[in-house]
Amino acid sequence: MALRDIQKAAVQCLMTVEQGINLREALLCGKHLDTSEHAAFVDISYGVQRFSGSLKALLSLLLNKPLSDKTIDALLRVALYQLAYTQTPFYAVVNECVALSGKIHHGKFKNLANALLRRFLREKDALFAKVKNNPNLPDWWVKRLNQDYPDDAQTMIQAALQHPPLTLRLNKRKTNQQNYGEILQKNNIAHTFLSDIAVLLQNPVKVSQIPHFADGYVSVQDLGAMRAVEILQPKHGEKILDACAAPGGKTGHILETADCDLTAVDIDANRLQKVQDNLQRLNFQAACKVANAADLDKWYDGEPFDAILADVPCTASGTIRRNPDIKWLRRPKDAQKTAQQQVVLLDKLWGCLKQNGRMLFATCSIFREENQNQVQQFLQRHQDARCVLEEQLLPNEMRDGFYYALLQKN
């Protein structure tokens, strides 16, 4: 494994994120690495984002003044992450980091990098004691959590530092808890059933190694995301719309639950292809349309729906364990901006719903502007709407954060 190549790619990824690019796109910086190298690169790239607050605080304690060069700053944070949070041999991390620093500004920072990392190894426990209370979240985010969820804020902050759990949703048309549990046992995959359709894998497993995944027995889906279809309760024969459908987890879940006439709409053709690929794997069909769901002229035939899943755009603030870059890319007013975008979409979709039909408003956010406040304002605008169920699922060790409001058209 070429550790130097891994560090170099991780530095490029980190700097790309700090230019405002989301982490999943920035991971293309490591596309040239082989399989084993790429796995280590991904771990570092996610880890540096997850513990960014602590790493910056550690670096600040080790420096007399801030570094003037962004590349060496990023390189040292990558190395500190490896030394603090991985099992990579210390000598290898230090040697490769020092070698890379020697290529920056003609070796200007080489001695600094060597001295700083060796000091960190000597004083590791004392340094960590000084940063142990760092929440690894922006100050404004912590303030909002304490304001909106005073009893749960610390639990949410701790959950954000954990690796996300790997949960599978059983396709009850092809398997059940007993059957799939036996399959997992035969493959020596430790697991726990969380419900009749949700199974938690105790250790990470590549998708290619999940038994009968390609055959459509299971889908990878967060436990909180499974709640959407449980609330919507699709029924056989209904005409249902899945708006903003990509990547298709909930689309598949709807069709696993009921034989219905399903339309899936998404604005991004590449992401909609993922919906189609997912449906093909599960052996289902739906009318997939590339369009802005709010632009009815582009896709709507005028025939109203019995039910609508409005999985609307949001800040994704409930998924920061799975997408740790989000907490650093978001700004305090972003939730207000996305809430304004949601208004147009929700009002347009409401007009596509039958009388006595139901629309499930769904986000993967924990910010009230995009959730509770949005629904209150919607009910004020639409006198024919009634909220029959509302749930705010907060992130914990088992799931990400989601908000659901089931709206009925009177």
Which active-site residues does the annotation give?
364
Q: What share of the chain is helix, strand, coil (3-state, %, to 5)?
A: 50, 15, 35
User: Using an 8 Å Cβ cutoff, are 242 and 264 in contact?
Assistant: yes
What distance lies between CA 173 and its chain's CA centroid? 27
CA 337 to CA 369: how far, in whole Å?
9
- The set of residues, in sequence order, having a beta carbon less than 8 Å from that of 175 and lying 6+ positions away, is 183, 212, 217, 218
E strands along 36-190, which residues? 166-170
User: Using an 8 Å Cβ cutoff, are 74 and 11 in contact?
Assistant: yes
Torsions phi, psi for 396 (to 5 deg): -145, -165
Which pair of structure tokens corresponds to residue 7? 């560090």
One-letter amino acid for residue 407 of the chain: L
DSSP string, 30-69: GTTS-HHHHHHHHHHHHHHHHTHHHHHHHHHHH-SS--S-
CA 96 to CA 8: how far, in whole Å?
10
User: Using an 8 Å Cβ cutoff, are 410 and 177 in contact?
Assistant: no
Torsions phi, psi for 290 (to 5 deg): -85, 110
E strands along 202-316, which residues? 218-220, 239-243, 261-266, 287-290, 305-311
What distance lies between CA 164 and its chain's CA centroid? 9
